[in-house]
């Protein structure tokens, strides 16, 4: 589903993710930003940080989640990933992190342009056979 009219939570997630995306440290082509809204209504953000040898890259989703955990939050309500790509979803490793800190109601969104629509998925849409 694509959300074109954004509520205040998605607007704030979008603003945070696009802002932090500017801090991405990359060797490749794609800057990525991510923002998390927790069940306690707190927001956290992170960008991708690529390693010189690419063996220790930190994905934006993991950066945002680790910031969330370091601040004492443990449950994701929504996560938004932003990148200037036609279509983008979290990789399997990032989905593992998202699943670890999610409920069955967690929503994952993707936005490919500032102020653009957001494509949203339930976590089980992206990982339908993930073990419980």
Q: Cα-Cα-Cα-Cα dihedral of 83, 89, 95, 97, to 10°?
A: 10
**Active site residue: 22, 50, 61, 75, which one?**
61
CA–CA gap between residue 122 and residue 74 (Å, rounded): 18
CA–CA gap between residue 48 and residue 53 (Å, rounded): 15
SS3 104: strand
CA–CA gap between residue 80 and residue 43 (Å, rounded): 11
Query: Is 61 designated active site?
Result: yes
> What separation in angstroms does the CA of 28 have from each of 58, 59, 99, 113?
13, 13, 27, 19
Q: Which residue has the tokens 């998390």?
A: 36
- Active site positions, annotated: 61
């Amino acid at each position: 589903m694509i959300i074109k009219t954004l509520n205040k939570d998605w607007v704030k997630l979008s603003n945070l993710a696009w802002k932090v995306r500017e801090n991405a440290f990359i060797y490749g082509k794609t800057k990525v930003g991510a923002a998390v809204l927790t069940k306690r209504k707190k927001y956290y953000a992170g960008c991708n940080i690529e390693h010189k040898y690419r063996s220790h890259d930190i994905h934006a989703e993991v950066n945002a989640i680790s910031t969330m955990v370091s601040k004492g939050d443990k449950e994701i309500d929504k996560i938004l990933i932003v990148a200037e790509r036609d279509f983008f979803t979290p990789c399997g490793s990032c989905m593992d992190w998202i699943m670890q800190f999610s409920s069955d109601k967690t929503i994952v969104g993707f936005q490919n342009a500032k102020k653009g629509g957001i494509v949203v998925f339930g976590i089980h849409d992206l990982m339908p056979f993930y073990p419980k």
